[in-house]
Amino acid sequence: MGCPPPVQYDFPVPTAQQFICKKCRSLVTIESFRHTSDGIPYCRCPNCGAKNAVVETGLTPSQPGIIPVTRLLD
């Protein structure tokens, strides 16, 4: 089995990216994103509360940009 990978979900990751909410179409600045228990990175929209699954870019806060939303989680 080897060593399991480190747990990467359920804690905020600092970032300066933005996304467009798939539900309400707001442009949201991401202060942090989280991972589901399945390891899917997502951001919660502050306007409508939708959980937007996003592409994890690995960009740092000094590399702002708009990241794609893949789908809504709930």
Binding positions for Zn ion, rule: CB under 5 A: 21, 23-24, 45, 47-48, 50
Shortest Cβ 1–Zn ion spacing (Å): 41
d(CA 40, CA 21): 16
Cα 62 from chain centroid (whole Å) = 17
Q: In whole angstroms, what is the distance from residue 64 CA to residue 9 CA? A: 22
CB of 2 to Zn ion, least distance (A): 40
Least gap, CB of 27 to Zn ion (angstroms):
10
- Residue 21 or 30: the one with the smaller Cβ distance to Zn ion is 21
Measured from the CB atom, the residue of 32 and 47 that comes closer to Zn ion is 47
Closest residue by Cα to residue 68 from 17, 31, 34: 17
